[in-house]
Amino acid sequence: MFLLLALAGCATLPTDFERTPSQAVEPTGDTKLGQLFAPRVAAHGGDLSGIHSLRYGTDALAARIGLANAAQRTLDAQYYIWSGDLTGRSVLAALMRAADRGVRVRLLLDDLSEYGYDRALKTFALHPNVQVRMFNPFAERGFLGIQFLTQFSRLNRRMHNKAFVADNQAAIVGGRNIADEYFEAKPEHDYRDFDVLTVGPVVREVSRSFDAYWNSKFAIPVAVLEGEGEPPTRADLRELRERLAAHVRKARRSEYAEAVQGGEFVEEAKSGELSMLWAEAYVVSDAPSKFGTDPEDPSGHLGPQLRSIVEGLDQELFIISPYFVPGESGVELFRKLEQQGVDVRILTNSLASIDSPSFAGYVRYRVPLLRAGVELYELKPSARLPEERKRGGPLGSKGPSGGSLHAKVFIFDRKETFVGSMNLDPRSLRLNSELGVIVESREFAGEVLSTVENQLATGAYRLDLEYAPIMHQPPPRPTMAWDDVDRPKLVWETVSEQGKKKRFETDPETSWWRRFLNGVLSIFVPEGQL
């Protein structure tokens, strides 16, 4: 057993294979998507991009499947997670149908979350119009844990990008992976996420980023990775196609499918007049070379690109980051901004809503952030936008359910907005790769900010500091002297949906045991890995 584990730990990636480079096709107006969007792009001078917000999970799923169904030349999909659940199989079925029509499909997945799906992905890659590559993969498929220990410095760095591009005419970028919890299909746990559907010049930039990762040395064809059992055959491909088709037929009869088909996106798309906000937009991303350099080397990193914008702000910075570990340098940056008159507001998860150990790293910065003048908000697990409460909460549920914030949105001076995959934590900044778009539009920033602000009062807890009065002794004095010294106590304030103010002195909606465990984690978890 020791020998087997040692061999697994020393496993190396295959090198004797052909990795044929490929690039995104030049967008043309003769495809369905070209005929739909090219005239609108031209009508805005050709240099502005169209932006359509995807706030609801059902609309975000409909948009991906709709683009796959409309594509005639290429589909490129790049994701950190692609699950084999209801939504994962539905989008994969759409890719299969596209490939059967002759569309070239390129699927690039991070390898960490795809363990167990090797055979399905290898089978899918047998399609003559499909290519599947795994980014920074494990060499030995049966001993992931051992490899992670022995090759930690390599395997600890993951591709966190999310992009979906059809015919190089339309692209979806944002925070959503492909799994039920991102599309309102998992009532017991619903992610609060955000994507944008883009058309116009910015789409070509998304495609160039995809090509850079696709053609990098870290992207390995799934077919050359060793696995258990016999290699899949064409018969397996036919069976996979039949299983996916059967899944779609069954899913169409569900309440969830009715909600997807009846969403705002589908209604607008059917009319042929999908609402678009037109603005200058550009892509910001980590270069794939980040995986081959020291984590402390910022060259080619996304973080410095955003920091240069932050350092030039005049009025306001609004950060939405589900996993938030600013570090001492981040706290100092926010303190300087506040001293310069820039209002800094941050929305992140509460202990009750988060599903990541990163909260253990975040808690040590709550008091320093508040002292620096930052407004700090933590999302309630049952938070819902007003229009979502009218819809009855997540699909399939009878009422509010557990949810987590997962959107990654930064708003700069109410005139520029970043939407993408990057959290403000050491892992996103130093280790993983990230992708996003920046939209230069006061209207877009105002719309996003208005949506969030409508939720803050009842959907989040506002944190504050309460200082304990200290009596100076000696000498005794006839009146007490009070001094706000370093004995602050965190308090959480919110307003119920009935308009009643509430105040908490411990993390709301959590048990003492969960608070205790988080306290233990905050001592032992290395911040640089969060």
Catalytic residues: 160, 162, 167, 406, 408, 413
Whether the Cβ atoms of residue 116 and residue 194 lie closer than 8 Å to each other: no
Residue type, 333: L
Q: How far apart are CA 170 and CA 106, in angstroms?
A: 15
Q: Which helix (H) or strand (E) holds 496?
A: none
Helices (H), 134-200: 144-150, 152-155
Q: How far apart are CA 499 and CA 441, in angstroms?
A: 34
Residue type, 490: L
Q: How far apart are CA 379 and CA 118, in angstroms?
A: 36
Please state the separation of Cα 452 from the chain's center in Å: 17
Query: What are the tokens at 338?
Result: 């506040």
Q: How far apart are CA 344 and CA 373, in angstroms?
A: 8
Identify the three-state secondary structure at position 189.
Answer: coil
Helix axes 57-70, 264-271, angle to 10 degrees: 30
Query: What are the tokens at 413?
Result: 């001076």
By CB atoms closer than 10 A (0-12, 13-18, 19+), residue 401 is middle
Query: What are the tokens at 469?
Result: 């009065």
Closest CA to 199 of 17, 437, 378: 437
Sign of CA dihedral 450, 453, 454, 460: positive
Helix axes 57-70, 32-43, angle to 10 degrees: 110
- Name the CA radius of gyration of the chain, rounded: 24
Q: How far apart are CA 161 and CA 173, in angstroms?
A: 9
C-alpha distances in angstroms, 501 versus 217, 452, 457, 494, 497? 56, 19, 10, 6, 10
Identify the three-state secondary structure at position 96.
Answer: helix
Chain position carrying tokens 């949506």:
451
Tell how strand 488-495 and strand 501-504 pair up: antiparallel
Query: What are the tokens at 399?
Result: 């009422």
3-state secondary structure 366-408: HHHHHHCCCEEEEECCCCCCHHHHHHCCCCCCCCCCCEEECCC
Query: What are the tokens at 519?
Result: 């306290």
Residue type, 278: W
Sort residue 466 into left (φ over 0), alpha (ψ -120 to 50) or beta: beta
